[in-house]
Amino acid sequence: MKRPWKAREKRLLQTSLTLDFLLFNFFLLLLVAIVYIIINLDVVDFRISDQVVDPDLNVEAHVYVTELENEWLSGSSDETNNTEIQRLKDSGGWIEVLDADRRVIRYIGDKQDTFTQYSEAELYAGLENRNEQPYYYSISPLSTEGAAKYVLLKIPRDLVSVRINDNQLITNLKHPLSFYIMIGIGLVLLLIFVYSYWVARRIKKPLSILSLGLTQMIQGNYSTRMSISAEREFVQIGETFNYMADVIENTSAEKRYAEESKQRLIVDLSHDLKTPITSIQGYAQALVEGRGEDKDRQQRYLGYIYNKSVQVARMIQNMLELLKVDSPDFRMHIQQREIGEFVREIMADTYGEIEQNHFGLHVLVPDEEIYARYDPELLSRVIQNLITNALSYNPRGTELRVELIPLDNHVVIEVADTGVGIPQELWATIFDPFVRGDEARTGTGGTGLGLAIARRNTEKMGGRLTLSQRGRETTVFTIQIPK
């Protein structure tokens, strides 16, 4: 069984919920910024004219113009006695009087520039009062009899600053400041509530699925699986749960199968042992009771007893071998060895038995050296068991083929015969203990453990043992051994 995910390198895991939290904070700050901008945009009376002279002078530009205008109208203008004008002089500023043609006809204070007449463009440019200008300009009409005159005030730029009346600003809002504060707090609380409800819903649903799955698993329903569409962490938990459920279900199935196999093994072993033991008891009882009157009959009875005892001993030996291979303490000696000559030696050892049963033999082994990873004792037992199975359940004249076939990643050994074959309905269980290919031939001396031992040994070496048929060959056992 494959894991639902591959092993990954360790890295910092940025969770989806953390991303949601960061997005929530982003939108919260965005909302606060929007409320702040709305409050500032609601100011209705913020004027450039709020620019004033430096607090040391503590007087606005239009005050100079107004007082000067009044003094000249009354004819009491006195530069020396006028405190405001004196302060203007001390600050480095001055006042210019312009006629209708914008010529300087008089100035009060120390004039610091060389202008004697202004064009309209120069005058308008000065009145823009840009930050790069050295002087602050303020102009007012002077009401006198005769031609129109103007008063132009010039103050050094570094003495001018902006002063905003906080009370004025607050009272100029379209709505009370508390209104905006309440609106902002309400929106923030609403956003927090919506976010909390949304996160709770996203967490509650996968948690409910996990809780239900765990409950079913505790109750023994190992087929339970989860399908979660949620945050990546919950999906990973669901995949881990499904993997755990697969392992538990497979382990439970294997345990159940092992228990059933154990019970079946005990029943089959009892049944197979009962038949020869009963025969031994019968012949022994006949001898004890003196029913074997002549020596020939006694010898025949003793021969039956011997053969049956050999069968029982072989059955017990095979059972012990099967249990030994399944034992966790069983040690193998798997190495990469030459296998061609190994197969030839096995066939040479079994040739006498094959010839005695009048079987035709075909051994096909390539001349070149072929290497594979195997345990000689286990593989020898596999091949011998397959040959013994063919000899035990097939009639004389059967053709037996043993062939070694090298492939890219593994080596194949085929043991095939043209005998009676094995019914296909038994193919699924033929490698189970005490299963025979010909159920009618129970008196052949077979134990029903040879194929089970052969498959178990092959699997121990990392290989496979399969059954098929091909043309005239009714039984083809295929052994696959990795190189």
Quick one: average pLDDT of 399-423?
Answer: 94
What is the DSSP annotation of 276-305? HHHHHHHHHHHHHTT---SHHHHHHHHHHH
Identity at 42, one-letter amino acid code: D
Distance CA 354, CA 44 (A): 116
Element (H, E) at 163: none
* Residues sharing a CB contact under 8 Å with residue 135, sequence separation 6 or more, in sequence order: 93, 112, 113, 126, 154, 155, 156, 157
- Of 130 and 59, which is predicted with more confidence? 130
pTM of the entire predicted model: 0.46
Percent of the chain at pLDDT > 70 equals 74
- Residue 474: burial class (beta carbons within 10 Å; 0-12, 13-18, 19+): middle
Provide mean pLDDT across the span 262-275.
72
Which tokens is 477 given? 């056992």
> In 3-state terms, what secondary structure has residue 476?
strand
Look at residue 294 in the predicted model and tell me its pLDDT: 76
Residue 267 vs residue 92, higher pLDDT: 92
Span 379-395, average pLDDT:
92
Residue 39 has a pLDDT of: 62
For residues 205 and 27, give the distance between their C-alpha atoms in angstroms, rounded to a whole number.
25
**pLDDT at residue 221, as a whole number:** 83
More confident residue, 357 or 204: 357
- Residue 160's nearest CA partner among 48, 256, 291 is 48
Nearest to 183 by CA among 27, 35, 24, 30: 35
**Of 83-92, 358-367, 442-451, which range is least confident?**
442-451
Amino acid in position 72: W
In single-letter form, the type of residue at position 329 comes to: D
Rounded to whole angstroms, how far apart are CA atoms 242 and 214?
11
- Kindly tell me if the per-residue pLDDT of 366 is higher than 90: yes
Whole-number Cα distances in Å, 24 to 12, 28, 198, 383 = 22, 6, 11, 71
What CATH architecture is 331-482?
2-Layer Sandwich (3.30)
Q: Interhelix angle for 376-393 vs 450-460, to 10°?
A: 150
pLDDT at residue number 401: 96
Q: How far is the C-alpha of 244 from the C-alpha of 369, rounded, in Å?
A: 46
Q: Between 441 and 329, where is the model more confident?
A: 329
Please tell me the predicted confidence (pLDDT) of residue 222: 78
Q: What is the pLDDT of residue 43?
A: 47
- Closest C-alpha to 15, from 156, 173, 203: 203
Provide the 3-class DSSP secondary structure of residue 179.
helix
In angstroms, the CA 117 to CA 113 distance is: 11
Which of the pair, 436 or 361, is modelled with greater confidence? 361
> What pLDDT score does 252 carry?
84
pLDDT of residue 348: 92
End-to-end CA distance of the chain: give it in Å, rounded: 24
Query: What pLDDT, on the 0 to 100 scale, is given for residue 165?
Result: 43
CATH of domain 48-163: 3.30.1140
Note the pLDDT of residue 171: 43
CA distance 53 to 107: 20
β-strand pairing of 51-53 with 149-156? unpaired
Higher pLDDT, 322 or 114: 114
Q: What is the pLDDT of residues 100-120, one digit of tens each?
A: 888 998 888 888 888 899 998
Please tell me the total number of residues recorded for the chain in this structure: 483
If one compares 406 and 307, the residue with the highest pLDDT of the two is: 406
Question: How far out from the chain centre does Cα 285 lie?
Answer: 74
Tokens of 194: 């919506």
pLDDT at 312 > cutoff 60: yes
Contacts of 27 (CB under 8 A, 6+ apart): 191
Helix residue ranges per DSSP H, 357-429: 376-393
How far apart (Å, rounded) are the C-alpha atoms in residues 480 and 457?
12
Q: How confident is the model at residue 467 (pLDDT cuts 50, 70, 90)?
A: very high
364 pLDDT band, cuts 50/70/90, is very high
Return the higher-pLDDT residue of 408 and 184. 408
48-163 and 233-324: identical CATH topology: no
Q: Which of 91-95, 125-129, 397-401 has the highest mean pLDDT?
A: 397-401
Give the mean pLDDT of 128-145. 79
Which of 90, 88, 83, 96 has its CA nearest to residue 60?
88
**Most confident of the following: 180-184, 350-354, 410-414:** 410-414
Q: Classify 233-324 by CATH class.
A: mainly alpha
User: Tens digit of pLDDT for each residue in 17-44?
Assistant: 566 666 766 777 777 777 667 666 654 3
Q: In this model, does residue 63 exceed pLDDT 90?
A: no
DSSP 8-state assignment for residue 419: S
Residue at 204: amino acid letter: K
Distance (Å, rounded) from C-alpha 246 to C-alpha 225? 9
398 pLDDT exceeds 90? yes
Residue 480 is which amino acid? Answer: Q
Tell me which of 350 and 77 has the higher pLDDT. 350
Angle at 178 between CA 172 and CA 184, to 5 degrees: 110
Give residue 69's pLDDT band: very low, low, confident or very high (50, 70, 90). low
| 432 or 407, greater pLDDT | 407
Q: Residue ranges per domain, the chain?
A: 16-42+170-218, 48-163, 233-324, 331-482
Residue with tokens 């199968």: 257
Residue 474 has pLDDT above 60, yes or no: yes
Q: Please check whether residue 88 is in contact with residue 62, taking contact to mean a CB–CB distance below 8 angstroms.
A: no
Query: Is the separation of the CB atoms in 483 and 372 below 8 Å?
Result: yes
**Which residues are bridge partners to 152 per DSSP?**
96, 139
Q: Can you tell me the mean pLDDT for 264-282?
A: 76
Of the listed ranges 73-82, 200-209, 217-226, 287-296, the least confidently predicted one is 73-82
- Pairing verdict, β 399-406 and 360-364: parallel
Determine the average pLDDT of the residues in 189-202.
77
Gap between the Cα atoms of 110 and 92, Å rounded = 7
CA atoms of 314 and 311, how far apart (whole Å): 5
Q: For the segment 196-245, what is each residue's pLDDT rounded down to a tens digit?
A: 777 777 777 777 888 888 888 888 887 888 877 766 777 788 888 888 88
pLDDT above 90 coverage of the chain, percent: 21
CB 35 within 8 A of CB 184: yes
Q: Compute the mean pLDDT over every residue in the chain, rounded to the nearest whole number.
A: 77
